[in-house]
Amino acid sequence: MNDRMIKSNKTKAGDMIFVIICLLVCLACVLPMLNLLAKSLSGSDFLVKHEVYLLPKGLNFEAYKTVLKDPKYIRAFVWTVVLTIICTITSLVITAVCAYPLIYEDLKGRGVFNIIITITMFFNAGTIPNYLLMNSLGLLSNPLVLILPGCLSVYNMIIMRSFFYGIPDSLRESAQIDGASYFNILTSIYLPLSKPVMATLALFYAVGRWNGYSDALMYMKDKKYYPLQLLLYNVINNINSIEVATQEGFSSPGLNESLKAAIVMFSTIPILCIYPWLQKYFIHGVTVGAVKG
How much is the pLDDT for 9? Answer: 63
State the average pLDDT over residues 151-180.
86
**HEC string for the chain:** CHHHHHHHHHHHHHHHHHHHHHHHHHHHHHHHHHHHHHHHCCCHHHHHCCCCCCCCCCCCCHHHHHHHHCHHHHHHHHHHHHHHHHHHHHHHHHHHHHHCHHHCCCCCCHHHHHHHHHHCCCCCCCHHHHHHHHHHCCCCCCHHHHCCCCCCCHHHHHHHHHHHHCCCHHHHHHHHHCCCCHHHHHHHHHCHHHHHHHHHHHHHHHHHHHHCCHHHHHHCCCHHHCCHHHHHHHHHHHCCCHHHHHHCCCCCHHHHHHHHHHHHHHHHHHHHHHHHHHHHHHHHHHHHHHHHC
Measured over the CA atoms of residue 20, residue 22, residue 23 and residue 29, the dihedral's sign is positive
Over 80: is that where the pLDDT of 118 sits? yes
State the average pLDDT over residues 84-110.
90
Spatial separation of the C-alpha atoms in residues 37 and 137, rounded to whole Å: 43
Of 164, 67, 154, the C-alpha closest to 119 is: 154
Over 70: is that where the pLDDT of 250 sits? no
Spatial separation of the C-alpha atoms in residues 169 and 72, rounded to whole Å: 52
* Domains (range + CATH), the chain: 29-60 (no CATH), 62-292 (1.10.3720.10)
Spatial separation of the C-alpha atoms in residues 174 and 188, rounded to whole Å: 12
How much is the pLDDT for 18? Answer: 84
How much is the pLDDT for 272? Answer: 77
pLDDT band at 86 (very low <50, low <70, confident <90, very high): very high
How much is the pLDDT for 94? Answer: 93
Spatial separation of the C-alpha atoms in residues 249 and 246, rounded to whole Å: 5
Higher-confidence residue: 290 or 88? 88
- CB of 232 within 8 A of CB of 267? yes
How much is the pLDDT for 242? Answer: 43
Please count the CA atoms within 13 angstroms of the CA of 112 that sit on its side-chain side: 4
What percentage of the chain has pLDDT greater than the value 70?
84
pLDDT band at 85 (very low <50, low <70, confident <90, very high): very high
Q: Look up residue 18 and give its amino acid.
A: F
pLDDT digits over 31-77, tens only? 888 888 888 888 777 777 777 788 888 787 777 877 777 788 888 88
pLDDT band at 258 (very low <50, low <70, confident <90, very high): confident
pLDDT digits over 183-224, tens only? 888 888 888 888 888 888 888 898 889 888 888 888 988 888
pTM: 0.79
